[in-house]
Chain A
Amino acid sequence: NAGVTQTPKFQVLKTGQSMTLQCAQDMNHNSMYWYRQDPGMGLRLIYYSASEGTTDKGEVPNGYNVSRLNKREFSLRLESAAPSQTSVYFCASSLRQTHYEQYFGPGTRLTVT
């Protein structure tokens, strides 16, 4: 039982490049989330998926797109990376959207130069 897995662990991009961050969970959770964590800012929600087939914007969605590929997988895409997107990205999942704890992946450290 791996929990929440994320790939890659580290990535360096040049401004304007695109990439997709992958996330998968094996806990049969319905809800999945993408957060970014910047120094001194805590975690901020980028996008979430309350259930398979639905996605919604969070607090900081600009510059990102997501795909809930199936119940297990939730990917985050940067179409044209900018230095302001340098951050640590965390994927999380929970059984339901409210009243349940979230389980976090190990994170992806992204640097955009």
Chain B
Amino acid sequence: SQQGEEDPQALSIQEGENATMNCSYKTSINNLQWYRQNSGRGLVHLILIRSNEREKHSGRLRVTLDTSKKSSSLLITASRAADTASYFCATDSGGGADGLTFGKGTHLIIQP
């Protein structure tokens, strides 16, 4: 079953604007990760945030995690055309079992 649910399903913005995507999940987690997938390609890891962290930065990416609300957000600042892709959140539910559980993704389009 899908653990994470991204919101919105699709987002179109102008180049240079900021893009925010949200992810909600259902069960307790060890960590939450964000991945990017360009059309027709495999997934690429962007950032991992552990359950005891609230915010993490990596370049133009900012991820927040609110375990009380079981939600996370991914902010991409100063977007570029190359950021056009699908973005997935994935949770590691712990206990050493299973792989990651992915949401259905947010498709981001950056208009030049």
Enumerate chain A interface residues (CB-CB to B < 8 A): 4, 31, 33, 35, 40-45, 48, 50, 56, 58-59, 90, 92, 97-107
Q: With A90-B43, A98-B30, A105-B42 known to touch, is A45 a contact of B88 (CB < 8 Å)?
A: no
Known contacts A42-B102, A45-B98: does B92 contact A98 (CB below 8 Å)? Answer: yes
- Tell me the nearest residue of chain A to B6, going by C-beta: A42
In the complex the two chains form, what is the Cα distance from A108 to B102 in whole Å? 19
List A contacts of B105 (CB < 8 A): 42
A4 to B67 CA separation, bound complex (whole angstroms): 32
Query: Which residues on B sit within 8 Å (CB–CB) of A50?
Result: 96
Residues of A within 8 A of B90 (CB): 43
Minimal beta-carbon separation of B89 from chain A (angstroms)? 9
> Of the candidates B1, B33, B98, B102, which one forms a contact with A101 in the assembled complex, judged by CB atoms under 8 Å apart?
B33
Q: Which residue of B42, B92, B103, B104 contacts A99 across the interface (Cβ within 8 Å)?
A: B92
Chain B residues closer than 8 Å to A48, beta-carbon distance: 98-99
Render B73-112 as a binary contact track against A, CB cut-off 8 A, 1 for contact.
0000000000000001010101011111111110000000
